[in-house]
Amino acid sequence: MNADFSIPRPLVVLLMVAGAGLAACSRPAPAPEPVRAVRTLTVAVDGAGGTAEFAAEVRARTESRLGFRVAGKMVSRSAELGQQVKAGQVLARLDATDLRLGQEAALAAGRAAQSNYELAAAEFKRYQALRAQGFISGLELERREATLKAQQAQRDQLLAQAGVQGNQATYATLTATAAGVVTGVDAEVGAVLGAGATVLRLAQAGPRDAVFAVPETGLAAMRALKGKAGAVKVKPWGGAATLPATVREVAAAADPSTRTYLVKADLGAAAVQLGQTVTVVIDEPRVEGVTRLPLPAVTRQQGQSAVWLVDPATMTVKPQPVVVAGADANTLVVTAGLSPGQIVVTAGVHVLTPGQKVKFYDAAGAAAAATPAASR
């Protein structure tokens, strides 16, 4: 006997609805968004300007990289790092054996060409006499004259080559092009060098420059000072006295590594040492009506500088575009976009969203909460 255990369809539907209700009741509710604590600063009107200081290095106006004009093996070097040298002083030598042999071969070829030319000149004189007596034709005389001119041209060519080989032999000796100080040595005795390879770096005697780098924000000011005598001051480290200097060169492009611009200020004949570290002091005009903000307070929103403002009534934040004129020490100078009394978030700006609830950071409360935890 077979029993019928089928469940009625209305009962199945009822059980499914009940199961779905129980599953919905057991699902946890989403956690509320945390209220972030933010550090803030109340906007106040201030001034910017005063003086700007840059670390600089004293360099020679002209620094030459000296090398041999021919290839060869260096057999001696008489100049050392930091040595004072005079114009024309021998600094290094190459093995000139092959160069001298080449010179001798060129001279021998030149002497042979000279002998051939003299023989052709004597023959031409004899043929001139024969032509005057009517024993040869004018065509034959012209042929002999052409031979004489060819021998003369060949002689001149070989003599010129001999002169070139003689110059090559003299290039085996490296001499100082001007008086100065050796600031670098790039090759040692025994090295096989190519033509033009740097052997020594020579800082020529003469005017000195204070070389320093400025950020892009200070580029316009540097170009405005270019050529103005005494527009900048240079102070040696450890000394109180300052030296007047003139900005003579501002780089047209930024350094690919540091993204700063190289500036050279002329020190003239001031009593400074090569490689000495100095401080360049520049007086900047003071600008009133600006706002100073910490570096972390400014972020980027849609391709422009912006800050986050706190609405005290609702305790929510919103982005506010601003105009940053530059940096002054560890702060940014904002010239537009803010009004006195506004509250700006100065820390944690990278985790904020428009309309987010925030609370003011209580340093005293955070320290008190951290003390018991640290004592446990």
In which element (H, E) is residue 289 found? strand 277-294
Query: Where residue 70 falls among pLDDT bands split at 50, 70, 90?
Result: very high
CA dist., res. 181 & res. 60, Å (int): 9
The pLDDT assigned to 236 comes to 84
The pLDDT assigned to 319 comes to 84
The pLDDT assigned to 95 comes to 93
In which element (H, E) is residue 23 found? helix 9-26
Output 73 or 346, whichever has higher pLDDT. Answer: 73
Find all residues with CB under 8 Å of 81, minimum gap 6, and list them.
Answer: 182, 183, 184, 185
The DSSP symbol for 38 reads: E
Summarize pLDDT for 162-193 with one digit per residue, the tens.
999 988 889 999 999 999 999 899 999 999 99
Q: Enter the pTM of the model.
A: 0.57
CA dist., res. 221 & res. 225, Å (int): 6
Check whether 139 has a pLDDT greater than 80.
yes
C-beta atoms surrounding 82 within 10 Å = 12
The pLDDT assigned to 36 comes to 75
The percent of residues above 90 in pLDDT, for the chain, comes to 28
Asked whether 248 and 265 are in contact (CB, 8 A), the reply is yes
Residue position matching structure tokens 């009822």 = 14
Summarize pLDDT for 92-127 with one digit per residue, the tens.
999 999 889 998 999 999 999 999 999 999 999 998
The pLDDT assigned to 10 comes to 58
Find, among 118, 112, 100, 99, the residue nearest to 159 by Cα: 112
Find, among 171, 170, 223, the residue nearest to 195 by Cα: 171
Check whether 273 has a pLDDT greater than 70.
yes
In which element (H, E) is residue 188 found? none
Asked whether 148 and 124 are in contact (CB, 8 A), the reply is yes
Output 235 or 10, whichever has higher pLDDT. Answer: 235
- In Å, what is the CA distance from 309 to each residue of 30, 108, 289, 301? 28, 90, 19, 13
Check whether 370 has a pLDDT greater than 70.
no
For residues 75-79, average pLDDT: 93
> Please, what is the average pLDDT of the chain?
81
In which element (H, E) is residue 120 found? helix 97-133
Summarize pLDDT for 289-338 with one digit per residue, the tens.
677 778 887 888 777 888 888 888 888 888 888 887 766 667 777 778 77
The pLDDT assigned to 49 comes to 57
Highest mean pLDDT among 8-12, 258-262, 279-283: 258-262
What tokens appear for 60 in the block? 């020679």
Query: Where residue 32 falls among pLDDT bands split at 50, 70, 90?
Result: low
Helix (H, G, I), strand (E, B) or coil at 161: helix
Find, among 239, 233, 247, the residue nearest to 281 by Cα: 233
Asked whether 299 and 320 are in contact (CB, 8 A), the reply is no
The pLDDT assigned to 329 comes to 62
Output 23 or 227, whichever has higher pLDDT. Answer: 227
Check whether 227 has a pLDDT greater than 60.
yes
Residue ranges of alpha helices (H) inside 7-96 are: 9-26
The DSSP symbol for 357 reads: B
Check whether 5 has a pLDDT greater than 60.
no
Find, among 60, 46, 5, 10, the residue nearest to 201 by Cα: 60
